[in-house]
Amino acid sequence: MGINRRDFLKLAGLLGLGGKAAFELVLPGEVEAAVARTEATGTRWAVVVDMRKLTDKVAARCIEACHSLHNVPNYLEPPDPKLALSEDLKNRWQIKWIWTDVYEHAFVGFEQDHKWDKLQGMNFLLLCNHCDNPPCVRVCPTQATYRRPDGIVMMDMHRCIGCRFCMAGCPYAARSFNWRDPRPYIAKINPNYPTREIGVVEKCLLCEERLAQGQQPACVEASGGALIFGNLNEENSPVRAALRAHYTIRRKPYLGTNPQVYYIV
Amino acid sequence: MLENAFVGTRRYYTLLAVLATLSAVGFLVYLKQLSFGLGITGMSRDVSWGFYIAQFTYLVGVAASAVMVVLPYYLHDYKAFGRVTILGEFLAVAAVTMCLLFIIVDLGRPDRLFNVLKYPTPNSVLFWDMIVLNGYLFLNIVCGWMVLESERHQVPPPKWLKPLILLSIPWAPSIHTVTAFLYAGLPGRGYWLTAIMAPRFLSSAFAAGPALLILLALLVRRYTKFDPGREQIQTLAKIVTYAILVNVFFFFCELFTVFYSRIPEHMDHFYYLFYGLQGKGWLVPWMWFSIVGMCLAALLMVSPKIRQNETTLALTCGLIILTTYIDKGLGLISGGFVPNPLHQVNEYVPTVPEVIITLGVWATGFLILTILYKVAVSVKEEIQA
């Protein structure tokens, strides 16, 4: 037995050709289509965060705009001082739709050693990545969280059973659970947006209620240009222009979730 | 047969009363949890599963281990186990019931429990877990009860039962495999993202479950007229020995891959559990006790002298139950969530209400177990007489 190099190459070539031919027969054009990424149609929302413009003050404005609009409770500084919580409880119950954290937390696994001193300690604005391939959607047993065709990872808080499988599944810690009734901790309830009940999970929904009215997400509006929002499938959209012009990074892309929040650093 | 549950000694009724009381106390605290929310537990944004899910995971293993008495009897015609299959099956019934209760007490919205059936979602492992656990509960109730009933009337079990019994054999490892898949398929949770999780679950289950069964068999012999048998206990002991050795081996396989590859996202969880991370690590002594105790127990079980002496056997079995419990019941869930995906260390410690609810569920399970064992033992005594 045994096979020399020449025979091996001949055999491999034959198999290769045969394989290609077989594919062409069964799925004409599929091989090329799979290799060359096709231009998708329809809408695919994405966010680009321009870290050159994102100061801590801007970030705080974005967070305030989102959290006050969506009735997100404030466990850190309750509206009524009598409701003040211990450090431990603040930490445990905190609900975050959009928040900041330093580079080394936001980009775990992308530590850049000394030459990147600039990045260490830099505060990044974090939110749900509205992944193309969201693990939270995969694990949800009731489809209470699901992916819309435009890419928004949605949350039906009336269907959620509170099993918190999605929180274990999310590699970005973008999901929060209502460990208690959040209402006493909302400074001023916005009557145009629902508040949550005990025992359900919540997260950033990319302001789908504002998008439906043709408005931009609240954080983008409040960011004064530091956040860029738009349709990735549209050649001339601001997000596409930003991605063409700059080098951007994403959080944990190696996990294959295909996150859709990009950072210009 | 159930009438046997209502006639018993004073000791039997006392035991029932104690368990029922604990169960009731647990239920009262659960009502508090229902009204306030899961905030009365120690769980958090970062450690979003805790004690409840850990007990659930451990008990799925105990339930699955019934197969270790059912399989030799039905597939290898190992007659001696005919006396103890019922103890294994009824232990499985009690364990699965506790599993289901632990899932329910862990839900934020138990009132919406049936959404899992209303919107069946095959891509969620939890959906499959629901199917296999309920299926396993059904199989063990039917198989256990019917075989016992036939034994009582001294007739062979009905023919239609055999396929169900055979089905229950592969079904047992499936429940623990699916439970492992709850964790082992999540990206970004390095501690759980390992192909050996299901095998590890099974090996620790097949050690801990039969070890518990040995202790129960010894108790049954001591307090009733029914003797599960020395040979039976010795065979179970051999099963425990192999399983605990395999479990220790799997653990070191895991350590090798994690520490030789030196990938931080996988290593840091082990650092947290065994050395502490960022100055935090309340589980460190527990984890060392668990792994050293487990290795010691495995070595002790290898020695025939220790295994054959029922006192040292019982003590070693106790050590195995305790160490595998710490590994799965304390380390597994916390270890997977700490550090969090942002590499922050926020520890989890169960709160008093959480522990009381947990005890309540255990008491409910043991109440069911006591009643089922009482029925089984009464039938066995009846036949002997």
Cross-chain residue pair B108–A181, CB shorter than 8 Å? no
Furthest-apart CA pair in chain B: how many Å? 66
The mean per-residue pLDDT over the stretch B85-110 comes to 96
Contacts by residues A78-85 (CB-CB < 8 Å, ≥ 24 positions apart): A78/A184, A78/A185, A79/A184, A79/A185, A79/A186, A79/A187, A79/A188, A80/A184, A83/A184, A83/A185
Instruction: Give CA–CA dist A209/A238, Å, rounded.
Output: 21
Instruction: Give CA–CA dist B10/B18, Å, rounded.
Output: 12
* Chain A CA closest to residue B338: A168
Cross-chain residue pair B115–A161, CB shorter than 8 Å? yes
- Shortest distance between the Cα of B96 and any Cα of chain A, in A, equals 18
pLDDT band per the 50, 70, 90 thresholds, residue A119: confident
Which of A19-33, A192-206, A208-222, B312-326 has the lowest average pLDDT? A19-33
Q: Which residues contact A190 (CB under 8 A, 6 or more apart)?
A: A68, A69, A70, A71
Q: Is the peptide bond before A184 cis (omega within 30 degrees of 0)?
A: no
**Chosen from A76, A92, A94 to mutate, greatest number of chain B CBs within 10 A:** A92
Instruction: Give CA–CA dist A169/A161, Å, rounded.
Output: 16
The mean per-residue pLDDT over the stretch B301-325 comes to 96
- Shortest distance between the Cα of B230 and any Cα of chain A, in A, equals 44
Report whether pLDDT(B302) > 90: yes
Region of residue A248 (left: phi > 0; alpha: psi -120 to 50; beta: else): beta
What is the per-residue pLDDT across A132-171, written as a single tens digit (0 to 9) for each? 999 999 999 999 999 999 999 999 999 999 999 999 999 9
Q: Output the pLDDT for position A1.
A: 43
Q: What is the DSSP letter of A122?
A: P
The mean per-residue pLDDT over the stretch B248-252 comes to 97
- Chain B residues in contact with A141 by the CB 8 A cut-off are 115-116, 121, 124, 126-127, 130
Instruction: Give CA–CA dist A219/A216, Å, rounded.
Output: 8
CB burial string B328-356: b at 16+ within 10 A, e below: bbbbbbbbbbbbbbbbbbbbbebeebbeb
Find the helix or strand (DSSP H, E) in which B186 lies: none
Q: Is A171 on the interface with B (CB under 8 A)?
A: yes
Instruction: Give CA–CA dist B305/B311, Å, rounded.
Output: 11
Instruction: Give CA–CA dist A163/A168, Å, rounded.
Output: 10
Q: Is A139 on the interface with B (CB under 8 A)?
A: yes
Q: Output the pLDDT for position B5.
A: 85
What is the per-residue pLDDT across B157-175, written as a single tens digit (0 to 9) for each? 999 999 999 999 999 999 9
User: What share of chain A has pLDDT > 70, as a percent?
Assistant: 84
Cross-chain residue pair B264–A138, CB shorter than 8 Å? no
Measured CA angle at B178 (ends A163, B170), to 5 deg:
145
pLDDT band per the 50, 70, 90 thresholds, residue A117: confident
Give yes or no for a contact between A171 and B341, defined as CB atoms under 8 angstroms apart: yes
Q: Which of A208, A252, A39 is nearest to A263 (CA)?
A: A252
The mean per-residue pLDDT over the stretch A177-205 comes to 96
The mean per-residue pLDDT over the stretch A229-254 comes to 95
Task: Give the rounded distance of the alpha carbon of B300 from its chain centre.
Answer: 23
Q: Which of B310, B307, B86, B95 is nearest to B219 (CA)?
A: B310
Task: Count CA atoms within 13 Å of residue A108 on its CB side.
Answer: 20
Average pLDDT of chain A is 88
Instruction: Give CA–CA dist B151/B252, Å, rounded.
Output: 45
What is the per-residue pLDDT across B333-385, written as a single tens digit (0 to 9) for each? 999 999 999 999 999 999 999 999 999 999 999 999 999 999 999 999 888 87
Task: List the single residue in B126, B186, B341 with the smallest CB-CB distance to A173.
Answer: B341
Q: Output the pLDDT for position B6.
A: 87
* Chain A CA closest to residue B52: A163
Give yes or no for a contact between B119 and A159, defined as CB atoms under 8 angstroms apart: yes
- Structure tokens belonging to residue B344: 């922050």
Q: Output the pLDDT for position B105.
A: 97
Instruction: Give CA–CA dist A240/B277, Å, rounded.
Output: 41
Which class is domain B2-384? mainly alpha
- Chain B residues in contact with A171 by the CB 8 A cut-off are 186-189, 341
The mean per-residue pLDDT over the stretch B68-88 comes to 92
Q: Output the pLDDT for position A8.
A: 53
Report whether pLDDT(A204) > 90: yes
Report whether pLDDT(A50) > 80: yes
Give yes or no for a contact between A56 and A125, defined as CB atoms under 8 angstroms apart: no
Measured CA angle at B331 (ends B328, B337), to 5 deg:
115
Domains within chain A, CATH numbers bracketed: 5-35 (no CATH), 45-264 (3.30.70.20)
Residue tagged 């077989």 (tokens): A22
Q: Output the pLDDT for position B385.
A: 77
- Chain A residues in contact with B44 by the CB 8 A cut-off are 91-93, 179
Q: Which residues contact A134 (CB under 8 A, 6 or more apart)?
A: A145, A147, A153, A257
Report whether pLDDT(B247) > 90: yes
Q: Is A138 on the interface with B (CB under 8 A)?
A: yes
Instruction: Give CA–CA dist A232/A240, Å, rounded.
Output: 6
- Shortest distance between the Cα of A46 and any Cα of chain B, in A, equals 22
* Chain A CA closest to residue B126: A141
Measured CA angle at B81 (ends B80, B86), to 5 deg:
140
Q: Is A85 on the interface with B (CB under 8 A)?
A: no
| Residue A17 exposed, middle or buried by CB count within 10 Å (0-12, 13-18, 19+) | exposed
pLDDT band per the 50, 70, 90 thresholds, residue A31: very low
Cross-chain residue pair A104–B106, CB shorter than 8 Å? no
Give SS3 for A228: strand
Q: Output the pLDDT for position B3.
A: 84
**Chosen from B48, B128, B189, B349 to mutate, greatest number of chain A CBs within 10 A:** B48
Give yes or no for a contact between A230 and A240, defined as CB atoms under 8 angstroms apart: yes
- Structure tokens belonging to residue A36: 């060359």
Give yes or no for a contact between B78 and B139, defined as CB atoms under 8 angstroms apart: no
- Structure tokens belonging to residue B62: 């105990």
Q: Which of B78, B315, B79 is nearest to B218 (CA)?
A: B315
The mean per-residue pLDDT over the stretch A106-115 comes to 81
Average pLDDT of chain B is 95
Give SS3 for A46: strand
Report whether pLDDT(B274) > 70: yes
Compute, in degrees rounded to 10, the torsion defined by CA atoms A154, B333, A198, A165: 20
pLDDT band per the 50, 70, 90 thresholds, residue A83: very high
Measured CA angle at A183 (ends A181, A186), to 5 deg:
135
- Structure tokens belonging to residue A175: 């999901």
Q: Output the pLDDT for position A35.
A: 44
Secondary structure (H, E, C), A173-223? CCCEECCCCCHHHCCCCCCCCCCCCCCCEECCCCCHHHHCCCCCCHHHHHC
The mean per-residue pLDDT over the stretch B43-49 comes to 96
| Domain regions of chain B by residue span | 2-384
Q: Output the pLDDT for position A13.
A: 53
Which of A6-20, A59-73, B168-182 has the lowest average pLDDT? A6-20
Task: Give the rounded distance of the alpha carbon of A230 from its chain centre.
Answer: 14
Pairing between β-strand A227-231 and β-strand A45-50 as defined by DSSP bridges: antiparallel
The mean per-residue pLDDT over the stretch B286-297 comes to 97
Residue tagged 């929310």 (tokens): B37
Q: Which residue has the higher pLDDT, B14 or A18?
A: B14
